[in-house]
Chains A and B, each alone.
Chain A
Amino acid sequence: MIRLIDVYKEYENGTKALKGITTRIDDGEFVFLVGASGSGKSTMIRLITGEVAPTHGRLMVNGYNLNSIRQKQIPFMRRTLGVIFQDFRLIEKKTAAENLIFAMQAVDAPPRDIRKRVPYVLDLVGLSGKEQCLPSQMSGGEQQRVAIARALVNNPRMIIADEPTGNLDPERSLEIMLLLERINALGTTILVVTHEKELVDRFSKRVIAIDKGQLINDETGGYYKNETV
C-alpha cells in the first residue's frame, strides 16, 4: 500500500515538480498514472522508490514510513517493489536468465531458490526457450518482458512501471499491458505510468491524472483525461 499526503517536491535547481499530491494505492490495485510530459510522473515514482526525498509531506510505502526511514532500511523497502523502465535497463552482457539471477543475487537469495524461481518467472512472462539469449538478440517487447520478469523475480508486493511501453509498437505495448494485468490478477499491485491514451482507454482501470505537479483527476474505471491536450 502506498500513501502520499500533501507531498511536495522541489529539486535543487528550484523546479517545483510536485505541488501537494495526496493519494493512496491499496494492495491488489491496478493503477494508471497519466499526465503530460513534465507533469511530475517520474518524480512521483522516484519518491516512492526512495531515490529522492520529498521536500514536504508524508509518504508511506508498503509499511515503511519514508519520512523517518533509516538509511539501512531503504534496501528492504525496495525489495517490496519491482521497478520497470522505458529503456529496460538490462545488463547487456548477461543473458535473460543471468539478468534474473543477478537480481536475485543482489538480495542475497539462496542458490536453491534462484534455480527454482528463474525458470518459473521467465515462463510466466512467456520467455521459455529464450533463457540463454542476450538482450541484443531479443526484440524490444522481449527485452521488456525480461525486465518485467526481473522486477517479479524477488516476489515484490508491487510493480512500478515508468512508461514501460514507450519504446514499443502498439501491438507489443498491448501485450505488455495484458501481461501486467495477468500479474495483477496473481495478486501483485501494479502502478503504470504512461501517456498512451488508447492503451489506457482499452482497460477499465483506476486512472490518476496529474498536471503541473497537481492531481487533477482520479477515477476508477476512468479514461485518459488531460486538460492540457
Chain B
Amino acid sequence: MKRFNGGYLITEGLTAIVSHGLMSFVAICIIVACLIIMGSFSLVAVNINYNLGLLEDKNEFLAYIDESLDDDVARGLQSDIEAVDNVRSVTFISRTEAKESYIADKEDSALYEDLPDTVFRNRFSVQVDDIEQMETTIDQVEQVSGIVKVSADLEVAQGFVVARNVLSGISLIMVVVLSIVSVFIVYNTIRLATFHRREEIAIMKMCGATNGFVCWPFVIEGLVIGLAGGLIAFALQWAIYELIGKAAESPAASFQFLSLVPFGTMAWSVLGVFCLAGFSIGVGGSLLSIRKFLNV
C-alpha cells in the first residue's frame, strides 16, 4: 500500500480532541489522578526500600558465647556460625575488647576501669546479607552449641520490611485497578468521539477508506490524551514529592530519621513509566473502542 497522508490523520486526531474538549479534559484529569495515585504508592514503596537499604548497613547482631568455654574453643565456633545461611561475615570479640569498647562509650570511663574482664562475655559480631531473613538467621545462630544468647534490634527492620511488603501489594493492586479505570475512561471518550462522527465514518467506508485510515485519527486522539495525562501527572507528582520532602525536613516532622530519595535521581524513570502508562492507556482504550470498525 502507498504511504499514508500523515498530516491529515494527525490533524484529524488533534481536531477531534479540541472538538470534544470537555470529554477529553475529563479523561485527561482522570488519567492524571490515576497515575498520581499509582505513582505516590510506588514512590512511598521506593523510599521504604531505600531506607531499608540504609538500615542494612547496620545489619549486624551479637552472639554471646557460653562463659564456660575457654577462648580457643570459643574462637573455634566461628566456622560453625559462618556455615549458617545468609551470614556475610563473623568477627570474634574477646572479653577484653568488649570491655574496652564498652568503657569507651561511657562519659566517666574512669569509674569502669576496675571492672574485671569476666563481667563481659566473649562474643561474635555477625553480619547478614539480607535483613529480611535476619530473624531466621538469628534462630539458626542460637542453635549453634556454645552460643547462649543473641541480641539484635530487629523491630525497626521488621517494621520496614512489613510496611514495604504491604505497600508493594497495595501498589500492585492500585496499578491494576487504576489502569483498568483509565483504559475504560479513554475507551468511553473515544467511543463518544466515534459516535459523534458515525456518519462521517459511514461515508468514509462507503468511499472505500481502509480500516486503518478510519481508525488512525481515533488512535491518535487516544494517544494524545494518554500522553498528555502522563506528562501532567509527572509534573504534579514531582511538585507533590518536593512539597512532602520540604515538610519532612522541617523540625516539626516526626520522621526525621527517614531519608527521602531525591526526585532528581528518579525523574527519568518516573517520566518513562508515566509516559509508557499514558501511551498504553491511550492506545489501549482507543483500540478497544474502534475494534468494531475493523470488520465492517
Residue ranges of A at the interface with B (Cβ–Cβ < 8 Å): 49, 71-72, 75-79, 81, 83, 89, 91, 102-103, 105-108, 110-111, 150, 154
A106 touches B207 (CB 8 A): yes
List residues 205-222 of chain B with CB under 8 A from any CB of chain A. Answer: 205-211, 213
Task: Kindly list chain A residues whose C-beta atoms are within 8 Å of the C-beta of B246.
Answer: none
Q: Indicate if B5 sits at the interface (CB-CB under 8 A).
A: yes
List residues 172-198 of chain B with CB under 8 A from any CB of chain A. Answer: none
Q: Indicate if B200 sits at the interface (CB-CB under 8 A).
A: yes
25 residue pairs from A and B, CB less than 8 Å apart: A72-B211, A75-B208, A75-B210, A78-B206, A78-B208, A79-B207, A81-B208, A83-B206, A89-B203, A91-B200, A102-B203, A102-B204, A103-B207, A105-B5, A106-B204, A106-B207, A106-B208, A106-B213, A107-B207, A107-B208, A107-B209, A108-B2, A108-B5, A108-B209, A150-B207
Instruction: Tell me whether chain A's interface is mostly helix, strand or loop, or mixed.
Output: helix
Q: Indicate if B113 sits at the interface (CB-CB under 8 A).
A: no
List residues 1-60 of chain B with CB under 8 A from any CB of chain A. Answer: 2, 4-5, 8
Q: Chain B nearest CB: distance from A71 CB in Å?
A: 6
Residue ranges of B at the interface with A (Cβ–Cβ < 8 Å): 2, 4-5, 8, 199-200, 202-211, 213, 295
Chain B, residue nearest A78 (CB)? B208
The distance in angstroms between the C-alpha atoms of A110 and B2, with both chains bound, is 11
Task: Kindly list chain A residues whose C-beta atoms are within 8 Å of the C-beta of B206.
Answer: 49, 78, 83, 89
Task: Kindly list chain A residues whose C-beta atoms are within 8 Å of the C-beta of B202.
Answer: 89
A78 touches B200 (CB 8 A): no
4 smallest beta-carbon distances between A and B, as pairs: A79-B208, A78-B208, A106-B209, A106-B204
The distance in angstroms between the C-alpha atoms of A77 and B4, with both chains bound, is 19
Residue in contact with B8 in the complex, picked from A49, A79, A89, A105, CB distance below 8 Å = A105
Residue in contact with A102 in the complex, picked from B4, B200, B211, B213, CB distance below 8 Å = B200
Chain B, residue nearest A111 (CB)? B5
The distance in angstroms between the C-alpha atoms of A91 and B206, with both chains bound, is 13
